[in-house]
Chains A and B, each alone.
Chain A
Amino acid sequence: MWEYTEKVKETFLHPKNVGEIDNPDAVGEVGSIVCGDALKLFLKIDKETNRITDAKFQTFGCASAIASSSALTEVIKGKTVDEALKVTNNDIAEYLGGLPREKMHCSVMGMEALEAAVANYRGEKPPEVDEGEIVCECFGITDQKIKRAIKENNLHTVDDVTNFTKAGGGCGGCIPDIENILKEVWTETVFKEAAVPKRKLTNIQKIALIQEIIEREIRPLLQSDGGDVELADVEGSKVIVSLRGMCSGCLMADVTIKNIENKLKELVSEDLVVVAE
């Protein structure tokens, strides 16, 4: 049995804005009956103000898919199209008092339906169609969609990618590909920041700076994922750290170490090497 919040249950049992809109200004359709969930969103939009005056939905899916659809329509009604586009899957989940992690893909479906509807309204092609390569054959999920979910929701494990996108939840054949995408995304983006000019440092200054950067730049990132790192020692150009919490024993530990090294190379000194204790 899923741990649904009272709000999810209530919204599922008594969803709001169910049905079609006659002569809608926008329609967004995502998912399919084969995949197990599908959402069709209808919008009425005031052409003068670009404000969404009415929103209705039809959903095939589980309780959280139906609740997420209802939540989406409630959240976007009255907003302008631009304001509505700022709504994320997390806003939908939040409106419902949270969703089980395994059901987050239901909220993502809501966000995608909205984007599809807005594209339809603006006469653009629906987002993500023909973009990227299919990674998950079972559910037809592209690498672009996976990358986006990873970045927007700060995902670090294959399970989480499955929870948010369904990718990897079928035959599991694409799990190695998802692992590669995770590595790629996090090596690419986590520590991408403007470099500061390098100075010639004394040993003491170097250690102090390394300590400061670990405290300021690296720990908050790791802590947000339940992990942590501490500076254990500095021997010449060798920086010894110990990974804590979720980081210790994490399959991605090597990537994390590499990222810390890149950051320190960038901000302190090119010759630094980071090793785990």
Chain B
Amino acid sequence: MKVIYLDNNATTRVADEVKEGMLPYLSEYYGNPSSMHTFGGQVHRRIEIAREQAAELINADPEEIIFTSCGTESDNTAIMSSLESVPHKKHIIATRVEHPAVLNFSKAMARKGYRVTFLPVDKSGKLDLDELRNSITDSTAVVSIMFANNESGVIFPIDEIAAFVRSKGVLFHTDAVQAVGKIPVSVKELPVDMMSISGHKIHAPKGVGALYIRRGVRFSPYIIGGHQEKGKRAGTENVASIIGFGIACKLAKDHLQTINTRIIGLRDKLEKGLLATCPDARINGGIENRLPNTTNISFEYVEGEAILLRLNEYNICASSGSACTSGSLEPSHVLRAMGVPFTAIHGSVRFSLSVYNTDDEIDSVLKIMPGIIKELRELSPYGREAK
């Protein structure tokens, strides 16, 4: 049975063009980009092309991009570098809905004596900008706020936020892992100091990411060693993946149009269809400013893991904010921060699409899902209340 993959905020398939572009660098072109000989040097030149491709996607200069091992490394690096560049300032501002790469890193810094403010969001997942204005002080070293949320898809007004933070003379970092490749992002128009990107969310392989560092921003490397990446990130380059990442960035730029026309249409069709056919379902998060590929729906009276494993029988892949799927007993911190009732969080399912999804796939899900919800509600002691 063919896999219907609707979990693209978790990871994406490697594009064929990306794979093809990488293969020579996993076989004949194995030289070290730092070597003096032509054999290695040609690999170095190819990495610089990838850097240009990544820069172009976000409208940056190639010198403002460093390659990392993943979005998490980019996030950790950005915050750590910010803290080190203003060592007398001991305050971090983030939000309650950040990815663990920012959330848990900030908490780790809190254990080392930093003060951390986690800004709240409202029911629709929107950030309270007044809270940000009130929280920022002379001792604030860095503000790190995600561009778009991985679970709800809600997009934050990064232009407005970044402009305010800059006006206070504080460093601003944004985790744009979910935004880049789905919506147009141009750092020329955004006063952000640092921005994290991940490869595997945009059809490059896992294990490669990038960090945009605005020219002139003071930077301290997080991984220390050799002189790679102009001394900003040591370690022999993950050559094939970086080259794949570059190709993926180029594809992402070409795909933006498709995502914001055809894919947003499929997402809306899926969402409307599910709400129409499954009673007691609700969308989590506001729909005005939302990623075009994401929908997060709660099916009351049923539990998310059970839904996912029933979908799994049809090779349909999605994810859930339910406690049982998280490995801990805590349900999604994002949905809790949004004030979604526990009863609804347990039954939440996130569908996230990519350019590879088709109309037929959405039709299949719409055909299968209502039966699954109905069956699980028949099992549930609460299902009856739904009628």
Q: In the complex the two chains form, is A15's CB within 8 Å of B322's CB?
A: no
Is B1 an interface residue when CB atoms closer than 8 A count as contact?
no
Show 21 residue pairs from A and B whose CB-CB distance is below 8 angstroms, ordered by the A residue: A2-B305, A15-B379, A29-B381, A33-B342, A33-B343, A33-B382, A34-B342, A35-B342, A36-B322, A38-B381, A58-B383, A59-B380, A60-B302, A60-B381, A62-B304, A62-B306, A62-B322, A62-B324, A62-B325, A66-B306, A169-B328
A59 lies within 8 A of B381 (CB): yes
Structural contact, A60 and B382, CB atoms closer than 8 A: yes
Q: Could you tell me the distance between the alpha carbons of A170 and B379 in the complex, rounded to whole angstroms?
A: 26
- Say how far B342's CB is from chain A's closest CB, in angstroms: 5
A33: chain B residues within 8 A (beta carbon): 301, 342-343, 346, 382
Partner of A166, one of B304, B310, B329, B331: B329
A68 vs B331: C-alpha distance in the bound complex, in angstroms?
21
B: number of interface residues (CB 8 Å): 27
Min CB–CB distance A104 → chain B (angstroms): 12
Determine whether A61 belongs to the interface, using a CB cutoff of 8 Å to chain B.
yes
**Is there a chain A Cβ closer than 8 Å to B309's Cβ?**
yes
Q: Is B330 an interface residue (CB 8 A)?
A: yes
A61 touches B306 (CB 8 A): yes
> Nearest chain-B residue to A136 (Cβ)?
B329
B313 at the interface (CB under 8 A from A): yes
Q: Is the CB of A58 within 8 A of B346?
A: no
Partner of B380, one of A2, A13, A58: A58
Name the residue in B303, B346, B382, B383 with the highest tally of chain A Cβ atoms < 10 Å from its Cβ: B303
B378 within 8 A of A: yes
CB-contacts of A133-190 with B (<8 A): 138-139, 162, 166, 169-170
**A62 engages B327 (CB within 8 Å):** no
List B residues 345-387 near A (Cβ within 8 Å): 346, 378-383
Task: Flag whether B251 is at the interface (Cβ < 8 A).
Answer: no
B137 to chain A, nearest CB (A): 28
Question: Which residues of B are at the interface with A, using a C-beta cutoff of 8 A?
Answer: 301-306, 309-310, 313, 322-325, 327-331, 342-343, 346, 378-383
**Nearest-CB residue, chain A, relative to B300:** A33
**Contacting pair B330 A169 (CB below 8 A):** yes
Task: Return the CB mask of A28-69 against B: 1 if under 8 Å, else 0.
Answer: 010001111111100000000000000000111111011000
Q: Please name the residue on chain B nearest to A63 by beta carbon.
A: B309
Give, as a whole number of angstroms, the nearest-CB distance from B256 to chain A. 32
In the A-B complex, the 6 residue pairs with the closest CB atoms: A169-B329, A62-B324, A62-B305, A58-B381, A40-B381, A60-B380
A36:B381 contact, CB within 8 angstroms: no
Residue A74 is within 8 A (CB to CB) of chain B in the complex: no
Task: Decide: A36 and B324 in contact? CB cutoff 8 A.
Answer: yes
Q: Identify A36's interface contact among B301, B303, B310, B378, CB under 8 A.
A: B303
Residues of A within 8 A of B304 (CB): 62
Given contacts A139-B329, A169-B329, contact A61 B381 (CB under 8 A): no
Contact B378 A18 (CB under 8 A): yes
A230 contact set on B, CB distance < 8 A: none
A58, B343: Cβ atoms closer than 8 Å: no
Given A18-B379, A38-B381, A60-B381: A65 and B329 within 8 A (CB)? no
Task: Give the CA-CA distance A58 to B199 in the complex, in Å.
Answer: 44
| Most B Cβ at <10 Å: residue of A59, A61, A62, A139 | A62
